[in-house]
Structure 1
């Protein structure tokens, strides 16, 4: 359809008079003269209109069909229909059929796109997805569209804030009543053998039920289902029954941290660890599901904040870690599970990497001499797959543990990948696993984090901590100038921004520690000593720390000490303006202490060497 932009007075009989914003349906365009268009108004008048007076109307195809129907009704209501009007009617009918065909093609395309979208986010078949879409559209047509802004209200609704009264009216409530009945049946008679079909029925209920209703049902019975599942898993010998039990546990433990706390205090971790250790390391096709689901359930159990008991720490120790590392290094186990209920469909090696991260999360408070993960890695001369995977995870900023802990994750805590990185670079025995090429890639990622993230960002603070750990054990020269410039920018943030946050103060302290232990960074960029020294002077004014940290550093050359003494004298006037004379005396005493130390060293070394 077209819309008039201006008023127009017809100069000829074949032209059409119209006003601004009048709507027209196109009958025919003049092939000989493109400046005129044959149109018809909504009142049934037709004629030629100048093309430069018209523009495309902002209306849908459905509205255009409605306008055509109105025009046809007006023309048909006339007593005498001329030959020209009959031709106009035929032309309008052809236009209407063309629009109807376009709408049908559009509807078919949208239906297929909706079906594909549902199948991407679910595991429905094509027919199931189409049936779900049709039922949803019928509900929308009957209940949502009559309400003003009904669709917008539904799209803006938070699914987590749906009242429990509304949830109990749904189909899931009936299914959960069946689940509660099964739980009570297990609790009343623990010796009754449960069939495989019953386990699969429970798995379908837990995997597809409303999480809020499921949590309510499980909490109502004091987590009896978790304890019963652990008991049945321990007593069951058939893998056809153990598999659905493990899958039920995997879904249930992710619902609430209370469930995982109950599981970690039971015999479940020890049972799964023994099951994994007893399994052959070759991971053949016959037992890959057994290994896979044991790893997944053990991972989600260890990801809770509850620590392992002392006995469990011994059982989940070096033997289990050694098995997982062998899985990582063995290329033949890079096979994915074929189970349809596993949403992520991880390979066994990826699942093993997640379990290593979860184990280190449990043991990170131990020293490197007693941490089973670090002890196993320290005994190896190479571990290429683990190094490759952890660098890849660190580069993607992907913390796999967060997918298991859910809402329990804390953004203020260091992620599991960075924690393991810090542990690997806590000693030379594990740091040797990173070859030069691996270390260069890791340093590139760290430098990118230091540059990309702003002040107060925890990720930048973790990257700075990791770079300090790498410097202590490896002393790399790769892109040292870039790192020195980056550290200088971070150190000057307090001067530029003022009132630094706690994270920024920690970053500054870490940079000062780097300069204190590695003074060669001060020679990398021009003027960086002055900025660090002025930073300390600012700290003196705030009465937080004294300048003894810089002045008593391990400077091995007298000229460097004299340089700092000159910097101190040049900033003395600045301190006087703040009437901090007692701080000046304190700093001067520090300088005299260093001078006395220099004198004693010269007396001990007459040659002048320090």
Structure 2
């Protein structure tokens, strides 16, 4: 195997172009300056020897697949000394299968400098030999199928139906099953196509990408954005562009990102071309409509390809969004998108650039909390909840239950307000990851902002306690589903240039007179569980990490993508791990613990809500085993509740003290059993340490 050191543009006959880092299978040494190779994307041609070097990075299994692809690619080609190359490939494959070392692999064949002279033969014999050769070639073509056919067929199906890749996979597999059942002669072919499609090894799939319509579309969209950047950099005056055309192009790009094969999107976005272009264009763009679609593309790419997060963080995009929130009166939908982009970047990063960390101060969070508070109470630009815009926004909400109905004197908020509050809670949890609350540090900017009597603080606490009770992580985000729902709702019944894209029409019900928190009457709702919602709308959807998941009623077809889980588990930042290593990893539990880490912020939670928190903690302590990492997090939260509330000094005695002591002794007994002692790990030891600290604290305060 060879790997390219530099990019090369073909300017000679029979040569091929390639990028740096591409892999080739050497087929023959042409001369001292050229090699005849098989590119892993399926091309045959010559490459200069000084542009490539030998590589042992590929495993024997991958090399065997590449050898098979090379044999299939050469079957229909007229190549000088073809049989010599095929003989070399067969010998190479045998050596790889037998696990020989690189020393025993066959040497690369060398091209003969002179062709053998052709002796004259009679015409009849020549014609007969040619017919036999053609007949053998046709027989070989019938028995040998070129690899990657299933992916090409699937690409045609997806571009014809414009459905998501996951749904096309399900439909394609079921169609092949019907064919194999109807005609036994097609059983072998159907099985081969399905096996190739579901093969977790991506070598064949990625070699076909350059021949698919989706890949060409992705490359065209990225190249178009790069041309726009170049035009703006080279021209000293703004170019006259049609808004509808620009938005249509960006919208088509968003659709392609959400519906194409996530592994293909990850492969296409493996460099920093698109993030840098989007960051530059967003900062220079003045039209709110176009800026919104830039953010949609950003959200989709961040969830599909993790490699772009550092590029976005180091670019000017986060700083521009923060400036926009602080100093511009952005529309309702633009504000949601701004918070969503910041949420993704803050969730996935373990450390932030210094300038971005400095901007996450109390002044910025005060602007965010103030905007949320105004959106709850402001009725100046509100519209009737039965309008088509609000009906479309209702589809943005992905819930595992029905929308709330009117209860008593209160009227449930509209879906647009619910979407805003969910986005707000996720943003606060993501930003809180980058602040550490301990006895040796002052209050964080988020905690100080919560003490400033914002109306949004009550909504944040109510929603946070609901999530804490359900034991979910609000930062388990499915960004592709979010973008797909948002885009679909905005398109329904509206032209692309209509007033729907103004973003100022989406407000809550003007008839709502309630001064209670936004979730006072709708605690049943949740948008964090987005995998099985609204009559199976998530069937075959593409998750944020490049994995294809089916709804519960599907046949279980799974196509391996990037190999990551459908949701990214958030960890702790480096600063938090250093200052407070026991801090919960779950974003909701960390925020609860931070609120109870100080008496001033702990007083923001009503006494009855404190009892709810204690009930949840006692239930989890009783249910979780000693080696569960979640157990230590609940014990950490309980320690903060006892230290910074009036739990031990209440007139009626501590709430459920006996139940708490019984649960703690149960953890202590479980951790000290003989089986647990033999297999004790760090998690069990930490849970036992926190349990002993709690028992000591309770003993000291009760005497």
The answer to whether TM tops 0.5 is yes
Aligned residues of 1:328 and 1:353 also touching (Cα < 8 A): no
Change in 2 beyond 3 A, CA 1:230/1:156: same
Q: Distance in 2 between matches of 1:217 and 1:395?
A: 41
Matched, 1:378 2:451: yes
1:307 alignment partner, SS class: coil
1:399 alignment partner, SS class: coil
Moved more, 508-517 or 449-458: 508-517
CA shift, 1:233, in A, is 0.7
Paired residue for 2:476? 402
Paired residue for 2:677? 498
Moved more, 458-467 or 206-215: 206-215
CA shift, 1:342, in A, is 6.4
- TM-score normalised per structure 1: 0.57
Q: Distance in 2 between matches of 1:228 and 1:420?
A: 35
Paired residue for 2:296? 247
Change in 2 beyond 3 A, CA 1:356/1:183: same
Matched, 1:433 2:507: no
CA shift, 1:466, in A, is 0.6
More helix by share: 1
Q: Distance in 1 between matches of 2:429 and 2:396?
A: 20
Paired residue for 2:360? 316
Aligned residues of 1:270 and 1:316 also touching (Cα < 8 A): no
In structure 2, which of residues 623, 632, 636 is the aligned counterpart of residue 461 of structure 1?
Answer: 632
Paired residue for 1:173? 215
Q: Distance in 2 between matches of 1:460 and 1:130?
A: 39
CA shift, 1:159, in A, is 7.6
Aligned residues of 1:368 and 1:423 also touching (Cα < 8 A): no
Matched, 1:481 2:658: yes
Matches within 5 A, 1:20-419: 138-142=175-179, 146-147=186-187, 154=194, 161-163=201-203, 164-191=206-233, 193=239, 195-219=246-270, 222-280=271-329, 287-329=331-373, 331-332=376-377, 338=392, 347-364=419-436, 369-380=442-453, 383-403=457-477, 407=564, 408-409=568-569, 414-419=585-590
Aligned residues of 1:428 and 1:473 also touching (Cα < 8 A): yes
Aligned residues of 1:328 and 1:386 also touching (Cα < 8 A): no
CA shift, 1:486, in A, is 0.5
- Higher RCO (CA < 8 A, seq sep 6+): 2
Q: Distance in 2 between matches of 1:141 and 1:322?
A: 60
Aligned residues of 2:475 and 2:570 also touching (Cα < 8 A): no
1:321 alignment partner, SS class: helix
Which blocks of at least 5 consecutive residues in structure 1 are unaligned? 1-123, 524-555, 557-610
Change in 2 beyond 3 A, CA 1:381/1:262: closer
Aligned residues of 1:369 and 1:375 also touching (Cα < 8 A): no
CA shift, 1:313, in A, is 2.5
Q: Distance in 1 between matches of 2:295 and 2:666?
A: 51
CA shift, 1:431, in A, is 0.5
CA shift, 1:480, in A, is 1.0
Residue by residue, what CA displacement relative to the aligned partner does 1:267-298 show, whole Å, maximum 9, x if unpaired? 21121112122345xx8xxx211111111111
Change in 2 beyond 3 A, CA 1:353/1:131: closer
CA shift, 1:380, in A, is 3.5
CA shift, 1:409, in A, is 2.2
Aligned residues of 2:347 and 2:570 also touching (Cα < 8 A): no
Paired residue for 2:556? none
Aligned residues of 2:668 and 2:691 also touching (Cα < 8 A): yes
Q: Distance in 2 between matches of 1:142 and 1:358?
A: 49
In structure 1, which of residues 516, 522, 531 is the aligned counterpart of residue 696 of structure 2?
Answer: 516
CA shift, 1:125, in A, is 11
Q: Distance in 2 between matches of 1:210 and 1:132?
A: 10
Q: Distance in 2 between matches of 1:419 and 1:153?
A: 48
Q: Distance in 2 between matches of 1:513 and 1:133?
A: 53
Q: Distance in 2 between matches of 1:159 and 1:339?
A: 39
Residue by residue, what CA displacement relative to the aligned partner does 1:460-485 show, whole Å, maximum 9, x if unpaired? 11101110111111142111110000
Q: Distance in 2 between matches of 1:456 and 1:152?
A: 44
Aligned residues of 2:348 and 2:570 also touching (Cα < 8 A): no
1:450 alignment partner, SS class: helix
Aligned residues of 1:261 and 1:304 also touching (Cα < 8 A): no
Q: Distance in 2 between matches of 1:298 and 1:258?
A: 16
CA shift, 1:490, in A, is 0.9
2:672 alignment partner, SS class: helix
CA shift, 1:445, in A, is 1.0
Aligned residues of 1:368 and 1:375 also touching (Cα < 8 A): no
Matched, 1:445 2:616: yes
Change in 2 beyond 3 A, CA 1:259/1:451: same
Q: How many residues are aligned here?
A: 392
Aligned residues of 1:368 and 1:374 also touching (Cα < 8 A): no
CA shift, 1:197, in A, is 3.0
Aligned residues of 1:354 and 1:401 also touching (Cα < 8 A): yes
Q: Distance in 2 between matches of 1:482 and 1:304?
A: 38
Change in 2 beyond 3 A, CA 1:331/1:355: same
Q: Distance in 2 between matches of 1:210 and 1:341?
A: 24
Greater C-alpha Rg: 1
CA shift, 1:319, in A, is 2.5
2:348 alignment partner, SS class: coil
Residue by residue, what CA displacement relative to the aligned partner does 1:113-143 show, whole Å, maximum 9, x if unpaired? xxxxxxxxxxx999xx999998776554446
Q: Distance in 2 between matches of 1:155 and 1:418?
A: 43
Aligned residues of 2:397 and 2:419 also touching (Cα < 8 A): no
Residue by residue, what CA displacement relative to the aligned partner does 1:394-418 show, whole Å, maximum 9, x if unpaired? 1122212122685552689711111
- TM-score normalised per structure 2: 0.50
Change in 2 beyond 3 A, CA 1:340/1:520: closer
CA shift, 1:223, in A, is 0.8
Paired residue for 1:421? 592
CA shift, 1:184, in A, is 4.1
1:403 alignment partner, SS class: coil
Aligned residues of 2:661 and 2:695 also touching (Cα < 8 A): no
Q: Distance in 1 between matches of 2:168 and 2:697?
A: 68
Aligned residues of 1:288 and 1:337 also touching (Cα < 8 A): no
Change in 2 beyond 3 A, CA 1:152/1:386: farther
